[in-house]
Amino acid sequence: MRAVVQRVSGAQVTVEEDCVGSVGKGLLVLLGVEEGDGQADLDYICAKVAGLRIFEDEQDKMNLDVKQAGGAVLLVSQFTLCGDARKGRRPSFSHAASPQEAQRWYELAADALRAAGLRVKTGRFQTHMMVSLTNDGPVTILLDSRRRF
């Protein structure tokens, strides 16, 4: 499981001109699910997202997590994070989970983040989404449950 976590001052997801999810201050989390991902991968990613101390405290040091900072999470499924572009010019998505499996883990991720006490909004799975954001910092963190980077 892979995630791109961006600290934002605002982000929203639009599907066919309808805003389906938006947050102000918080995190935009793009989530990719790979074949073979399981509960340990989900636990790792969700614990990292909930606990990342990437918001400034009173001394302007990154010491606060999203909940401490009063922020929310916008979780968006993005299977292209599972793309492999090492060979050739066209990425291979052969290691991405099937849509049914990916949706299951995506929904479980949203539930796990909510269970951690976070306010969570989502995109709409398996649709063409327009994602807009204002990256605050910019701060962008890459997570991989298999710890390849």
pTM greater than 0.85 (yes/no): yes
SS3 111: helix
> 145, 44 in Cβ contact below 8 A?
yes
Q: How is the chain split among helix, strand and coil, in percent rounded to 5?
A: 25, 40, 35
Active centre residues (catalytic): 78-80
For each of the chain's 149 residues, which pLDDT tens digit applies? 999 999 999 999 999 999 999 999 999 999 999 999 999 999 999 999 999 999 999 999 999 999 999 999 999 999 999 999 999 999 999 999 999 999 999 999 999 999 999 999 999 999 999 999 999 999 999 999 998 76
- Fold adopted by 2-144: D-tyrosyl-trna(Tyr) Deacylase; Chain: A; (3.50.80)
